[in-house]
Structure 1
Amino acid sequence: MSVPVYLAKLAVKNPSDNRLAKIRRLCEAMGLPDRVRPLGATGEDEVVAIKMHFGETGNDTYVHPTFARQVVDCVKAAGGRPFLTDTCTLYKSTRHNAVDHLETAYRHGFTPYVVDAPVIIADGVTSRCYEEVPVNLKHFASVKIAQAFRSISAMVVISHFKGHAFGGFGGAIKNLAMGCAPQLGKIDQHGRSVVIYPGCIGCGQCVKACPRDALTLKKAKKGRKAVIDAERCIGCYECVSVCNQGAIGVGLPTEYADFAERMAEYAYGAVLGKQDRICYLNFLMNITPQCDCAGWSDPAIVPDIGILASTDPVAIDQACHDLVKDAPNLVPMEGHAMHSCGYDKFAALRPHTRGWHQVEYAASIGMGSLDYELVTL
């Protein structure tokens, strides 16, 4: 049986048909009130996590706080008490600890005055608040999930669907996987197979970006070259992201598929035990080639498409992937003419990634269904 995925297109037919109203209608359509309302007469389980990404400093394509406010209002109308949340980053950033992360969230407009809910960093001040969750899957016997996500029984996952340097794309599954894990859980997912290729010019950008000082510059026959200390490396891949020469990469041929599987297993652990109490909203707007973890925002690769809602993380990510495939490209992609449709844009941008494998593997471990019905509101 097909899972319904609701789509609100962005065209406005009348003055009251704005994006804020569309979000509220999507929440109603997917049954958010029934999923987040308090369980039992005491209202004991009424605290609801709204999983967000507050955006790295310098990035401006994260989901807007006024959009998050509509979800807050819907949760409150159902009797829930929402808070907005995310976890600390693994790499050097303005979100590496809870203090810096909160300040970044506030600077980006996620204040109580705008969203009408508190912001709580789920894994604590220094990312040490988490619990081990047994999953017994291919890569992990257990996964590390931030304590705040283990303390609640209901959640709304708000994701900006866009490209990702290693995952191919990032949507609900990645938001659950990386976003619900503490730093140690992020290390688990990333692996450690970074290699430096002969094309290195010794510019030092990777050295500056490394959060564990695992990279140094050493003299070579011509100039300097980067050298990696495998023992210190935590596999965050920040060095790969900042290398403009493409001289740093992944050494194992299976690493990109394994990365997708490890993310799916962490996402599975994040929702375990509360699958029927979670809703998902994916924003197909500002579909950039890079994640919102980057300190910049590149131009979109396809036109804005709309906002999707579902109770199934696999179905909503699959629907988003299909819609981006069908959309015309706005940036040059090798082997494809401008404004051409019907191919995997993320694979065209980064042929080494395995974005589609996220959803395939997540479906195979029981996270959701690849079979969906797109319902346009």
Structure 2
Amino acid sequence: MSFDNSVSQKLIRLLKESGATDDLVEGMRITLKVNTAEVGYEYSLRPGFLRIAAEEAEKATKNTPMLCDGHRLVDYWKQSRGNVFLSVASARGYTDDTLGGCLVINGGFSGDESDLFSCGTDSELGGVEIGTAVCRSDVLWVLSHVTMHPLFGLNGALLNSGFECLSGRAKTRILKGLSPYLFDGQSPPQKDIQSFRERAVECIRGVKKAVENRIFYINYLWDVTPQPEYYPYSDKPVMENMGFLASKDPVALDNATISIIDENSKNLGSAAEDFRTIIEKAESLGLGQSKQTLIRMS
């Protein structure tokens, strides 16, 4: 491999040619929503992959970007959750220095520092509380380490730009008693899962309103595991690494993502087909278009 063909250079070209920085101007406050890993999860995304995006954002805005994630809904270590979050993130290699920006907790140290935004008059939710790190920025970049998800099906652009941007209290309201930790192999009733998915998709409307639709998305198809990063363990990836996808349309992006996973993984079962219902719901809410054109850069 030559230098120009390194993973880092490919990511830089992806950001430039997909128009990620086209709408950025000097002075804008930009937040990057990322996925940090729990202790025990062994396939976390390399900090350098996120740093590349942070550096390109800083070049365009002349501001140091913020990178954020939210509290886990279970405090395994029985300590102050804010302190534990930063300690765990630092131990996994996620620090200000390695990320190229300021790592913060989306909802503050309490997990519930947020502002309320409407999800539309036809929404079951009415509105959602969005963490301050997201809603008080000018631009949001959603950098998703793609994994499968026990309730939503796929942890990608749609989940990470909606449900994962909420305060801890708001996440609990969206779950309505469902546990996102399915360790015992028992699945909740399908109707409850479907209701959660619809509420989780509606959340995206509130986030888009909070940042006035200034959102850009990158899906990292790198170490795609059956469990999301908030789990305290991880099985082997379901397929080989397939690179990175970028778009301004989260529906098209996740639709392309699940198609690639379906084509390249084994024993996925009905997960890909089940996720199509989420794509349809998101499209019906005007969040994007499922039809996509996949442009391969390398």
- How far apart in 2 are the matches of 1:368 and 1:236? 28
SS of the residue 1:21 aligns to: helix
Q: Deviations over 1:72-116 (max 9, x none)?
A: 110111124301101112223469822111111111112122222
Identity between Structure 1 and Structure 2 (%): 23
The TM-score, its normalising length taken from structure 1, stands at 0.73
- Rate the CA distance shift 1:348–1:177 in 2: closer, same or farther, 3 A: closer
Q: CA contact under 8 A between 1:88 and 1:96: conserved in structure 2?
A: no
Write the mapping of 1:227-306 to structure 2, written as runs, cut at 5 A.
Answer: 235-238=178-181, 241-243=182-184, 246=185, 248-251=186-189, 253-274=190-211, 276-306=213-243
Aligned residue for 1:78?
Answer: 60
SS of the residue 1:272 aligns to: helix
SS of the residue 2:289 aligns to: coil
- How far apart in 2 are the matches of 1:70 and 1:35? 18
- How far apart in 2 are the matches of 1:134 and 1:63? 32
More helix as a share of residues: 2
Bigger RCO (CA 8 Å, 6+ sep):
1
Unaligned runs of 5+ in 1: 1-11, 193-234, 334-344
* Superposed displacement of residue 348, structure 1: 5.1
Q: CA contact under 8 A between 2:148 and 2:224: conserved in structure 1?
A: yes
- Rate the CA distance shift 1:92–1:17 in 2: closer, same or farther, 3 A: same
For 1:179, the aligned partner's letter is E
Aligned residue pairs: how many? 294
Unaligned runs of 5+ in 2: none
SS of the residue 1:89 aligns to: coil
Aligned residue for 1:111?
Answer: 95
Q: CA contact under 8 A between 1:162 and 1:169: conserved in structure 2?
A: yes
Q: CA contact under 8 A between 1:26 and 1:309: conserved in structure 2?
A: yes
The TM-score, its normalising length taken from structure 2, stands at 0.92
* Superposed displacement of residue 188, structure 1: 1.9
Aligned residue for 1:195?
Answer: none
Q: CA contact under 8 A between 1:35 and 1:278: conserved in structure 2?
A: no
More strand as a share of residues: 1
Task: List 4+ stretches of structure 1 deviating above 6 A.
Answer: none
Write the mapping of 1:146-161 to structure 2, written as runs, cut at 5 A.
Answer: 146-161=131-146
- Rate the CA distance shift 1:237–1:310 in 2: closer, same or farther, 3 A: closer
Aligned residue for 1:56?
Answer: 38
Aligned residue for 1:90?
Answer: 73
* Superposed displacement of residue 67, structure 1: 0.7
- How far apart in 2 are the matches of 1:348 and 1:311? 25
Give yes or no for the alignment of 1:347 onto 2:267. no
- How far apart in 1 are the matches of 2:18 and 2:95? 27
Write the mapping of 1:58-207 to structure 2, written as runs, cut at 5 A.
Answer: 58-79=40-61, 80-93=63-76, 97-136=81-120, 137-192=122-177
Q: CA contact under 8 A between 2:208 and 2:214: conserved in structure 1?
A: no
The worse-fitting range, judged by mean Cα deviation, of 86-95 and 123-132 is 86-95
Based on CA coordinates, which of the two structures has the bigger radius of gyration?
Answer: 1
